[in-house]
Amino acid sequence: MKLFHISDLHIGKQLNRYDLSEIQRDVLAQLTAAAERERPDAIVIAGDIYDRSAPSGEAFALFDAFLNSLGNLKPMIPVLLISGNHDSNLRLNFASSFLAKHQIYISSAPPKTGEEHLKKIVLEDEYGKVNFYMFPFVKPADAKNLPGDGAEIRTYDEAFAAILAREEIDFTQRNVLIAHQFFVSGSAEPERRESELRYISVGGIDSVDVCHIRSFDYAALGHIHSAQQVGSPHIRYSGTPLKYSASEASDTKAITVVTLGEKGADPEIEFLPLVMKPDVRKLRSTFAEVIAMAAEYGEDYVSITLTDEEPLFRPRERLREYYGNILDIQIENTRTAALLKNDVVCPENEEPLALFSDFYREMNGQPISEAELAVMADVIEKVGGRLP
């Protein structure tokens, strides 16, 4: 059985306030084209369909168009998707009963009472059944009303384990888990990117150990933006289908293609690259060299580090003439390196106005004007003769 594993579409997300809707539309079209070409037996989307719990109308329309494009493929390919921590359970669950008739299966909320269980979808191939257990993002509060020790649950790990333990899983059959959590393998945490760090707690208090899911034949995970395995090759994050931060510039975004053979055989893992255009890049060089790179990278989203030793006059404004999508600009040279190492100390007896004048000249590549100097002198006087 061949599976497409993707996650963290984050439809509606921006990149440093740049609108990515057309790029997202193109990447989703690449996914549909790959599905038509490769004919997987199922497409798994492991959470964070949208970037916000209240998506814009444009985001809804974009995902609706994607599902329609998949639904138009003949024969139909089952789509199994769960909610992530960014998704609204109610909004994602809308029309789920109707969609299920078209083999689009949605699980938007974890079981919260004794009567509820994980949604289970069963597909078959030449080796028999494959059971898909759909496990949406769960928090400790979601498990409080479960029978037994639900009220004592305090951690994400305990909540996940308690919910999973209630399922009567036959591990003599082939089983696939679809989940959206921060999974760790003992003390080893997955590699994270800037675009996700603020959603994962410091110290891993929201982590779930992979010991709970090792018995699955494959675990299709979402939540982490960089594609990687966690502890074992069959427990994997697919990563995002496009780049959502400069820290992902060197990532190769792809569809994770999983082929399950007979029970007991290791799954085969392949990757179908996805192309983001314009791309996200990190450029590090002198101002003149970065300008020269614009011929090739001028349309991309760029994070620029300038290494010039001489002061630069308004580098951001000048670079914008060549790059339309600048994410950030940093300056790294011997002076900034010394400042970071605390090797540069401002003399205590130097006049605040003189210090500011030197700073202004270095930042702007020209001396401060008399009018600006007068304004700064007035500010310094009002704060008691010291720089604020």
Mean pLDDT (10-residue bins), the chain, 388 residues: 98 95 98 98 97 94 96 95 94 86 93 91 97 97 82 91 95 98 91 70 76 98 96 97 95 97 97 98 97 97 94 90 95 73 53 75 70 82 62
For residue 224, what is the domain's CATH number? Answer: 3.60.21.10
Q: Are residues 315 and 239 in the same domain?
A: no
Check if the beta carbon of residue 306 is closer than 8 Å to that of residue 288: no
Q: Are residues 87 and 128 in the same domain?
A: yes
Tens digit of pLDDT for each residue in 229-243?
Answer: 999 999 999 999 999
Per-residue model confidence (pLDDT) at position 340: 56
Q: Is residue 90 part of a domain?
A: yes
Other CB atoms within a 10 A radius of the CB of residue 42 amount to 22
Burial class of 306 by CB neighbour count within 10 A (0 to 12, 13 to 18, 19+):
buried
Paired tokens of 338 = 């010394």
Q: Is residue 148 part of a domain?
A: yes
Q: Is residue 388 part of a domain?
A: no
Per-residue model confidence (pLDDT) at position 237: 98
Q: Classify 120 as helix, strand or coil.
A: strand
Q: Are residues 306 and 256 in the same domain?
A: no
Burial class of 87 by CB neighbour count within 10 A (0 to 12, 13 to 18, 19+):
buried
In the listed set 255, 273, 291, which residue is the last one of a domain according to the structure?
273
Paired tokens of 17 = 């306030």
Q: Is residue 387 part of a domain?
A: no
Total count of domains within the chain: 2
Q: Is residue 240 part of a domain?
A: yes
Q: Are residues 269 and 303 in the same domain?
A: no
* 370-382 helix and 352-364 helix, angle to the nearest 10 degrees: 140
Per-residue model confidence (pLDDT) at position 28: 98
Q: Are residues 88 and 215 in the same domain?
A: yes
In the listed set 221, 255, 273, which residue is the last one of a domain according to the structure?
273
Query: What range does the domain containing 350 cover?
Result: 280-382
CA 282 – CA 307 distance, rounded (Å)? 13
Per-residue model confidence (pLDDT) at position 238: 98
Q: Are residues 80 and 59 in the same domain?
A: yes
Tens digit of pLDDT for each residue in 10-45?
Answer: 999 999 999 999 999 999 999 999 999 999 999 999
In the listed set 217, 252, 273, which residue is the last one of a domain according to the structure?
273
Q: Are residues 168 and 198 in the same domain?
A: yes
Q: Are residues 229 and 314 in the same domain?
A: no
CA 236 – CA 119 distance, rounded (Å)? 20
CA 83 – CA 46 distance, rounded (Å)? 7
